[in-house]
Structure 1
Amino acid sequence: MSTAYKKTPLFGGALVVDLPEKFADVSKLRQVPDNQEVYIDKDGFTSIIIDITERIGPAGSSSLEADGQALTTHLEELLGEDADSVKVWNTTETQFSHLDEDIPAYTLIATQTPQSTSARSGAPDFTALILTLVRLEKESTDILITINVPHIKGEYDEEDVDLALGKQGELIGDAVEYAAKIWETFEVKDWHLFNEL
């Protein structure tokens, strides 16, 4: 199944990116923080969150090690007390088509499994995360693009998913495609955005 995308303005058009047409803007349904844009699949449970945050680490600290620590810190902040139940499967350097090549970006794929004490009916078996971090040193900004993919019993084929064996299943496969489209189409139209948030 090929996904249809539409050019989507974010933060009042300061950023643009192609997102799947079947994703709805959550801010039309409920309040979303000013530094976030949240889109959710109308036909499923997957969400895409674009988050503009303060850059982790002092200026001039751009190195693979510092960026890796920033990625870990963002992941831990994102998951809060659930961070203990996360397994990171891989981390890769990422290139955005419309950003300067010297802007560091990284993507990780992880899964978070609910603690058995918090497992309740309707809770996902696990949630896959595709987290991309863009490090804008001059703007003292980190951009986080998170694709959350809850796997709820009965909504996916359990035999198709085994990340240890490299089997992503349909939902994660779709999310990887969304991420690749974001890397290809994400553009900053107004750099002043990062001074305002």
Structure 2
Amino acid sequence: MTTFKSTPLFGGAITVDLPSTFSDVSNIRQVPDHQEVYLDSNGFTSVMFDILERVDEATAPNDEEALKYHFNDIVSGTGDHTELYVPGDAPLAKLPTTRALTLLATQHPTAKRASTDADFTVIQLILIRLASQETDIVISVNVPHVPGEDRDEDVEMLVETAKWMRDQILGSFEVRNWGLFGE
């Protein structure tokens, strides 16, 4: 059974529960100040937290378009094939009046990259819109399918893992210091 631990992000200004097997990537490589990255020490699953300037209405006239904008920003330039599934609203247990949206996607690398990378990656994207702070927080749960594994049996498990991680994040995400956003 997986155990979770409260994980401080951005100097403790934000906390979220992550599996105890996840480690801070900044201990092994440099990570930009606006980003936190955690990697499962027992596998290849990762979670990335990005604090970004809120997408304006001229670029994305509504929250759903902002979600797609951030997703496209993540996958653009890779040349990979992506498929979007199940976009929608998501409740934040500790920030019930804050708008959050999610989408599930798969990313399939090009033949050139497929020889060294995952066969495909399930991506669970979470967008938290902080209107007053003019900030978007983008959380990406990335669950890759490793070459050589039984593809058919694992697809459903990878999707369930991504959804499970999404639910844990949505249930525990908390802003403890709003000064992080310049207030």
**Same fold, TM-score > 0.5, yes or no:** yes
- Higher-strand-fraction structure: 2
Query: 2:112 & 2:7 partners in 1: Cα distance?
Result: 39
Query: 2:9 & 2:176 partners in 1: Cα distance?
Result: 10
* CA contact 2:124–2:142 (8 Å) conserved in 1: yes
Which residue in 1 is equivalent to 2:127?
Answer: 133
TM-score (norm 2): 0.92
* CA contact 2:83–2:106 (8 Å) conserved in 1: yes
For 1:3-18, list aligned pairs within 5 A.
Answer: 3-18=2-17
Following superposition, the deviation at residue 169 of structure 1 comes to 2.4
Task: Tell me which stretches of 4 or more aligned residues in structure 1 moved more than 3 Å.
Answer: none
TM-score (norm 1): 0.86
Following superposition, the deviation at residue 175 of structure 1 comes to 2.2
Q: 1:149 to 1:160 in 2, by over 3 A?
A: same
Which residue in 2 is equivalent to 1:119?
Answer: 114
Following superposition, the deviation at residue 104 of structure 1 comes to 1.2
For 1:1-197, list aligned pairs within 5 A.
Answer: 2-58=1-57, 66-82=62-78, 85-101=81-97, 103-120=98-115, 122-154=116-148, 156-161=149-154, 168-195=155-182
Query: 1:191 & 1:134 partners in 2: Cα distance?
Result: 14
Query: How many aligned positions are there?
Result: 183
Alpha-carbon displacement from aligned partner over 1:145-182 (angstroms, at most 9, x marks no partner): 1001111122x431225xxxxxx422331221111011
* Residue identity (%): 42
Which residue in 2 is equivalent to 1:165?
Answer: none
* CA contact 1:157–1:169 (8 Å) conserved in 2: no
Q: 1:88 to 1:45 in 2, by over 3 A?
A: same
Alpha-carbon displacement from aligned partner over 1:7-38 (angstroms, at most 9, x marks no partner): 11111110011000000100111110000110
Alpha-carbon displacement from aligned partner over 1:25-69 (angstroms, at most 9, x marks no partner): 00111110000110001011110001100000149x99xx61111
RMSD: 2.0
- The aligned amino acid for 1:140 is E
Where does structure 2 lack aligned partners over 5 or more consecutive residues? none
Following superposition, the deviation at residue 118 of structure 1 comes to 3.1
Following superposition, the deviation at residue 84 of structure 1 comes to 5.9
* CA contact 1:82–1:112 (8 Å) conserved in 2: no
Following superposition, the deviation at residue 100 of structure 1 comes to 3.2
* CA contact 2:79–2:110 (8 Å) conserved in 1: no
Alpha-carbon displacement from aligned partner over 1:78-117 (angstroms, at most 9, x marks no partner): 112236611001112000000032x211000000101123
